[in-house]
Structure 1
Amino acid sequence: MNNFFSSLRLTVSSLVICSVIYPAVILGFAMVAAPESRQGSLIRNETGEVIGSRLIAQSFTRPGYFWPRPSAVDYDASATGGSNLSPTNPALTQRAAGGIAKLNLKSGQKVPADLVAASGSGLDPHISLASAKLQADRVAASRGLPLSVVESLIQDNLNGRALVVLGGEPIVNVLTLNIALDQAIADKE
């Protein structure tokens, strides 16, 4: 009977330490070390309403907005994941061809891979600088803005480099860029 009570005490103390104390300490540390990230890096409008997250892509399809990477999960944060289609799968080729056709490229223009290939999670909120520049003409024409204004907004919203150690290229958060674009239009009016 002594062994039973010893085992029960050990089980209860392990449960309390691992399920209550440790998570509380980690949460407390996160609240101090990264206050914005602990809430999901939410972006709010002027009235305080949540309009998105810096960490999760949203679908933008209108020509006046920058488009994010394609998503294999239709930008559903509750169902993250890649498409698991092999490079030889015809469905992957068709999806890429549809994305390229939608871009209305000029002759000889190269398409950055991130505009036609979904990320591993399907929710990558960033596009490459090359992808943003490729879309700048369309966005400027659709919004009636000078190209120089749109290019300036792209530069203002650069997030540094992805995978710096591996020589990554500068990236742009699509949601924050589109919010800045809307703000530029509102300031113009």
Structure 2
Amino acid sequence: MASNFSTRIRVLGASLRAFLVLTVILGILYPLSMTGVAQAFFKDKADGSMVSVHGRDVGSGLIGQSFDLVDAQGNARKFDADGREVIATADGEGYTYLQGGGALTAEQAEGVGTLPDPKWFQPRPSASNYDGLASGASNYGPENPVFVKLIADRKAQVAKFNGVGEDKVPVDAVTASGSGLDPHISKAYALLQVERVAKARGGPGAAEVRALVDKHVDGPDAGFLGQERVNVLDLNIALARLAG
């Protein structure tokens, strides 16, 4: 009986020592060493590939973001389903129209959202609204009626927004990536937006903006993986510099 008890104590002691040793190695030393290697050799990527303009972080080169209409303070402007601007009520429980002040019904408030800014190149859609904490896709099947209608609506919106026919809208303009955070768009989608951006800005001509797109086209990885693509954040930063 005593022998069995002492055996259990030895086994328990060995297990505890193994637990402590592995905790130190895998829970402390390994993470610290990997962090050190990342900071020493891949600091930019380890820190999120942040992009700065005049000393201020404006986004990440690895994570897509929206380029919607904002107010003077940089806050997203809100609009109802018919494109009329609204503002939150004092209690934050609803919305009123900016012009006229009439209150929106609960049903109308459900359709409130942001609108893309025509002065900027727009990214591809995001199933997570570009939220890095909610990365993922919609998981709709290609024949799901909800997905089919969503794609049709997006195609109509993109075509109208850019003043082109629906047959000119590329696939990535209406479909989200698997992560919902892809920072790139195809060259075709970037070129589709040139005329609209140039017209909205009223400064650089379409030829200058198109040349800017050409300068920011990245080729396929390793020369053959994937397709030509454009980082939207980098392109918009260059656009801002071009426009002064």
Match of 2:208 in 1: 149
* Correspondence 1:92-107 to 2 at 5 A: 92-102=147-157, 103-104=159-160, 106-107=164-165
Of the three residues 116, 121, 135, the one matched with 1:80 is 135
Kindly indicate whether the alpha-carbon contact (under 8 Å) linking 1:162 and 1:171 is maintained by their aligned counterparts in 2: no
What amino acid does structure 1 have at the position aligned with 2:23? L
TM superposition score normalised by structure 2: 0.70
Aligned pairs, number: 184
Contact preservation (8 Å) 2:155, 2:166: no
Q: Paired residue for 2:88?
A: none
Per residue, is there more helix in 1 or in 2? 1
Aligned equivalent of 1:53: 60
Deviations 1:124-143 (A, max 9, x none): 01001111011111111111
Deviation at 1:9, TM superposition (A): 1.1
| Post-superposition offset of 1:110 | 2.8
Q: How does 1:1-189 map to 2 (within 5 A)?
A: 1-46=9-54, 48-60=55-67, 61-102=116-157, 103-104=159-160, 106-107=164-165, 109-144=167-202, 145-162=204-221, 164-166=223-225, 168-186=226-244
d(CA) in 1 for partners of 2:10, 2:212: 71
Higher radius of gyration, 1 or 2 = 2
Deviates more, 1:96-105 or 1:177-186: 96-105
Residue 45 of structure 1 deviates from its aligned partner by 2.2
Q: Which amino acid aligns with 1:90?
A: P
1:114/1:128 contact within 8 Å kept: yes
When the two chains are superposed, the root-mean-square deviation of aligned CA atoms in Å is 1.7
Identity across aligned pairs (percent)?
41
Of structures 1 and 2, the one with the larger relative CO (CA 8 A, separation 6+) is 1
Q: Structure 2: which amino acid aligns with 1:157?
A: H
Distance 1:51 1:28 in 2: 26
Q: Which amino acid aligns with 1:84?
A: N
In structure 2, the gaps of 5 or more residues are 1-8, 68-115
Distance 1:117 1:108 in 2: 14
Q: Take 1:20 and 1:73, find their aligned partners in 2: how far apart are those partners?
A: 33
Give the direction of change, closer, same or farther, for the CA distance of 1:169–1:148 in structure 2 (3 Å limit): same
TM-superposed CA distance for 1:109, in Å, is: 4.4
Report the TM-score, using the length of structure 1 for normalisation: 0.90
Rounded Cα–Cα distance in structure 2 between residues aligned with 1:106 and 1:122:
25
Query: 5+ unaligned residues in a row in structure 1: which ranges?
Result: none
